[in-house]
Amino acid sequence: MKSEATEIEVEVVEVDGVAPVTAAAPPDETETRSGWQDWRGWQGRVRTLDSRWWPLWVLLGAIALFLLLTLGLVIALVFVTVRLVSRMLRALVR
């Protein structure tokens, strides 16, 4: 005996006196919407940071602070070295 899978289509009309909620039909893909309308929902989200991501922002802030301090120290070291070399050259020339 060969058994084949059978599909049964059922439509629920009512369960316990309550009609089921029907799913909305998906929008037509042929309908064109401008890009501006798609981004309108993001307006408030872009201006505020989600509180669930605070550990990431703290980590990124610490990395940015470390990089800025390192850059500042390198610039200060170059500045001090250039001044020191220029003063040594002035002393030799005079």
User: pLDDT tens for residues 28-80?
Assistant: 555 555 556 666 666 666 667 678 888 999 999 999 999 999 999 999 999 99
> Which pLDDT does position 43 carry in this prediction?
65
pTM attached to this predicted model: 0.46
Ramachandran angles phi, psi of 17, nearest 5°: 80, 5
> Of residues 23 and 90, which shows the higher confidence score?
90
Q: How far is CA 55 from the centre of its chain?
A: 14
Tokens coding 9: 């289509």
- pLDDT of 44: 64
User: In Å, how far are 5, 19, 52, 81 from 25, measured between CA atoms?
Assistant: 29, 18, 33, 71
Q: Which residue has the higher pLDDT, 2 or 68?
A: 68
